[in-house]
Structures are given as structure tokens and as C-alpha cells.
Amino acid sequence: MRAGLPYMVASALAFAGMGVFVKLAGQRIPSQEIVLARAVVALLLSLVMLAHAGVAPFGRHRGLLLLRGVFGFAGLSCVFYAVTRLPLAEATVIQYLHPVFTGALAWLFLGERVPRALGLAVPLSLAGVVFVAQPAALFGGEVSLPALGVLAALFGAVFSACAYVVVRRLSRDEHPLVIVLYFPLVTVPATLPFLVGRMVVPVGVEWLWLLLVGLCAQVGQIALTRGIQLETAARATSLSYLQVVFAAGFGVLVFGEVPTGFAVAGACLVMLGAYVAARRES
């Protein structure tokens, strides 16, 4: 929790703010168009920062860098769709299954040590998702969240975990700005086929929301990349579950979305699972 802590806290706050602006913009604008706007801002900022730092933009491991971009595009597309369809806190909680997936994938592909308690973390986190989603078949009534939104958040967690593991591998000998660059470099062209005939021209304050989505995301991404460099993948990403707390606060303050008791209990289970997944064996 040492050197990487400030970076991961800053990342969590920035990404929670991004969720607010995604939800505001998504009231009228398609989620894939918001992904494109976020990527355009990130691409411009990344190129400026690379030029200022005097770093060559294309990196050494271009295949892995492109893979990082693909996973990032897929994950962000799922997350943005979920945020526009679900309450902000609930969408964030479900997506934050990714530390559990990250821990398992980092063990499989990077050889990082993961505690045996990972077997406990998975059922804890999945139980938490059930409490958050509150499916009518189990809880009765009509309180369940939209199934497609829940699935999008789940897939967002899986793709995010894949991206984090690739970032962890690349961070051994790639510059953080190069790693960050490849996300928008892949995402900008990847979004275009999904927007044919569906583009909506932003009006008024929507331009500001889109700009803030990109700015918050860029700050969060750079802080996250640096945090992952300073800690193991599982430990670093587990710290980012603070985004759940920030998102819940923003949801209440901005959208009047007060989480139910079941949702709060589910969030606690998901975060407990993330914590268990990130612990090292002594």
C-alpha cells in the first residue's frame, strides 16, 4: 500500500468523476459516442505529453500495446453502457469485480503470487453482485436492475482485468505515457463502425460533459498506470475500489440515487472480495 497509494486514490476519484459526466452526457448521447469523445481527448493529451517528455510514441512491444488498447476499448465500452443504464453506484460496484479477475489472471500469466484465499474472494464478490443487482427471481417484486446493464458491467470488469494485467507486463520496460497512448490509438477507429447512422450532435453543456469525461479519464488513467507500476497488479487495482465510495457519494449528491440496503451490503461483499484477492501470502 506504500508508494502506489496516492496514485490509486487519485485514479479512483478521477474515474468516479468521469462516471458522473458519462451519466450526464448519456441522457441523450449514445454511450459509444461518449467512448469516442473520451478517446479523442485522451489521444490529443497523450500526444502532447509524449512530445513534451521527448518519448518515442510507438514503444517496443507493439503487439502487447495493441492488445492493451483492444482490452481497454472493450472494457470502456461495456462500462460506459452500464453507467448510462444503471444507477452510478451500482454500475461502479459491479464493474469493480475486476480486482478478483486481475488477481487470477496475474497469477496465471505473470506468475505473481496470489493467496489461496482467492477461492473465497470469488464467491464473496459474486454474492455481492447478486445483492446489488437484486434479481426479481430471488428477491421478488420489481427491484432488479436491467439485465443488459448488469451484464455489460460484468464484462467491463473482465476486460478491465485483462487490460490491467497487460499493463502490468508492459510497465516493466515501457514508458507509462506510451502505454496510455495505445488505448485511444485503438479506441478512436474501433468506435467508428458502431456509430454509423447513430451519431448525435452535442448541444450546449453536453460539449462540456464530453470534455470533462476525457479529462477525468486521462488523469485517472495516468495515475492508475503509475500505481500499477509501483505495486503488483492485484494490490494496486484493489486500492481503486475507493471509486465505489466516491461513486456512491456522487450518485446521491448529483442524481439523488440512494442505494438500497441490499446494494450497500452487496458493495461491502464485492470490496471484501477485492481485498481478499489482493492480499499476499506471508
Total structural domains in the chain?
1
Residue 8 confidence (pLDDT): 82
Retrieve residue 57's grid coordinates: 510514441
What does the pLDDT look like over 230-264, one tens digit per residue?
A: 876 556 656 666 788 888 889 899 999 888 888 88
Higher pLDDT, 275 or 175: 175
Residue 281 confidence (pLDDT): 37
Higher pLDDT, 115 or 4: 4
How many of the other CB atoms lie within 10 Å of CB of 249? Answer: 13
d(CA 176, CA 163): 14
Task: Give the pTM.
Answer: 0.82
| CB contact at 8 A, 65 and 73 | no
Per-residue pLDDT at 282 exceeds 50: no
Q: Is 259 helix (H, G, I), strand (E, B) or coil?
A: coil
d(CA 3, CA 188): 33
Residue 278 confidence (pLDDT): 60
Per-residue pLDDT at 100 exceeds 70: yes
- The candidate with the shortest Cα–Cα distance to 80, out of 40, 35, 128, is 35
Residue 18 confidence (pLDDT): 93
Residue 225 confidence (pLDDT): 73
| CB contact at 8 A, 57 and 185 | no
- The candidate with the shortest Cα–Cα distance to 83, out of 24, 161, 158, 143, is 24
Residue 35 confidence (pLDDT): 95
Residues 6+ apart with CB under 8 A from 51: none
Domain that holds residue 196: 5-278
Residue type, 47: L
Retrieve residue 281's grid coordinates: 501470502
Residue 273 confidence (pLDDT): 77
| CB contact at 8 A, 212 and 21 | yes
Q: Report the percentage of the chain scoring pLDDT > 90.
A: 34
Q: What is the mean pLDDT of the chain?
A: 84
Average pLDDT over residues 222-227: 79
185-188 contacts, C-beta under 8 A, 24 or more apart: 185/43, 185/69, 186/66, 186/69, 186/70, 186/72, 186/73, 187/35, 187/36, 187/38, 187/39, 187/42, 187/69, 187/72, 187/73, 187/76, 188/36, 188/39, 188/40, 188/43
